[in-house]
Amino acid sequence: MHIARGLDSTQIRLLAELSRLRSVSAASRKIGLSQSAASHALAKLRRQLGDPLFTRTGEGFQPTPYGERLGMAACEALDVLVAGLASNRPFDPRTTTRHFTLYANDVGQTVFLPRLLAFLRKEAPGATVRTAPIPLENPGAALSTGEVDVAVGFFNNLTTGFRQSLLFRERYVCAMRSNHPKFRGGMTLEAFKSSEHAMADATGMAHAVIDRFLAKHRIQATLCCACPDFMCFQ
């Protein structure tokens, strides 16, 4: 099969394996070529693309800048192709070795991960889970492409096309030390505004709504500490 610029699928595979293994002999074994055939294929690639792609150095077989970019692109293309071919196979949790990626903030990880891992050990022992921080901008992008499988958190900026379920309702409180002099009579707006606050990042958290409400009404607290998650306060 010929691809753009006269490349064929064997050359794409060779580029990917050279990028991963940094060895002509190892790459040739991986794709089922003789070392001589792999060397000839690499020489042809160099002529076609006008770049050495990979060179021998004191640190071994290293890619040129263009070779590194091309090798990474080849790896990604093959990974996407393999995933696409596998997508039509029936999913069997007992035998799957799939890596699942989960968007979750620190509270979500604390609440859900122990139960999720226990469930997977029982129902899908070969599966693994990786958690990723919820991005500030466009959390739906990675969900749309399949890079992230599921997200747990508060989201009101996802467009149509996402399956969403309400897991539970929660409420937030403002916590302060006992016998705080400004709150002896209970919570007041003036006490809230004049006190120093420690805040966790609101990304993927329901208290993002509270932050927007306060900003809309120009209620600004004195911030003395901003942390990426609630674990910092333990």
The per-residue pLDDT string of the chain (234 residues; one tens digit each, 9 = 90 and over) reads 444 556 788 888 999 888 888 888 888 888 888 989 999 999 999 998 889 999 988 777 889 999 999 988 888 888 888 777 777 777 789 988 888 999 888 778 888 899 999 999 999 999 999 998 887 777 788 888 788 899 888 776 676 678 888 887 877 778 888 888 888 888 888 888 888 888 777 665 666 777 778 888 888 877 888 777 666 665
In Å, how far are 30, 56, 70, 184, 204 from 20, measured between CA atoms?
Answer: 11, 15, 12, 64, 35
Which tokens in the block code for residue 70?
């091309």
Instruction: Say what the pLDDT of residue 126 is.
Output: 92
Which residues are registered as beta bridge partners of 128? 99
Phi then psi for residue 169, to 5 deg, are -105, 145
For residue 98, give the 3-state DSSP assignment. Answer: coil
Q: How far, in Å, CA of 199 to CA of 107, rounded?
A: 14
| Length of the chain counted residue by residue | 234
Q: How far, in Å, CA of 106 to CA of 108, rounded?
A: 5
Domains in the chain and their CATH numbers? 4-86 (1.10.10.10), 91-169 (3.40.190.10), 181-233 (no CATH)
Instruction: Say what the pLDDT of residue 1 is.
Output: 42
* Contact assessment for residue 198 and residue 222, using Cβ atoms and an 8 Å cutoff: no
